[in-house]
Amino acid sequence: MQIERLSERELAEQLRLAGIPVQATSEADDQVDAAVEITSLVHVSIPTFGGSPCVVREVPDGLNTEFVFGPEQSTLEGLVEQIRFHLEQAGQEVIQAVASAEDDYILDNGPSPC
């Protein structure tokens, strides 16, 4: 299915039908593209002025945030595949961040008494 001309609400509905949970949508304005939020770390950006949607993953790094952009997708199938990939990557990054924080805590405070 071609998705280049779908609104954020129409795209969100198609994603739901494809088994992707959608948390929210946001409309575009002159400065910000429309978006379909999948999780707090993964969303689909829908260009305001032409182009195809792409998946964006936020990678928190201390006080900074890095953004990883997937390739533009013109089909629903390609977009769903990219969303699943980025969700998996975001999950692995969260697990690594938690493990790193636990390691830092142990280095600073010694091993847990439990």
Domain map (residue ranges) of the chain = 8-109
Q: What is the pLDDT of residue 55?
A: 97
- Predicted local confidence at residue 89, as pLDDT: 92
What pLDDT is stored for residue 24 in this prediction?
Answer: 96
What's the pLDDT score for residue 111? 53
Q: How many Å apart are CA 43 and CA 106, to the nearest integer?
A: 34
Phi and psi for 98 in degrees, rounded to 5? -65, -45
55 Rama sector, left if φ>0, alpha if ψ -120 to 50, beta otherwise: beta
Q: What is the pTM of this model?
A: 0.81
Average pLDDT per 10 consecutive residues for the chain, totaling 114 residues: 89 96 94 94 92 93 89 96 94 71 56 52
Q: What is the model's pLDDT at position 62?
A: 78
Q: How much is the pLDDT for 101?
A: 61
Cβ-contact 9, 3 below 8 angstroms: no
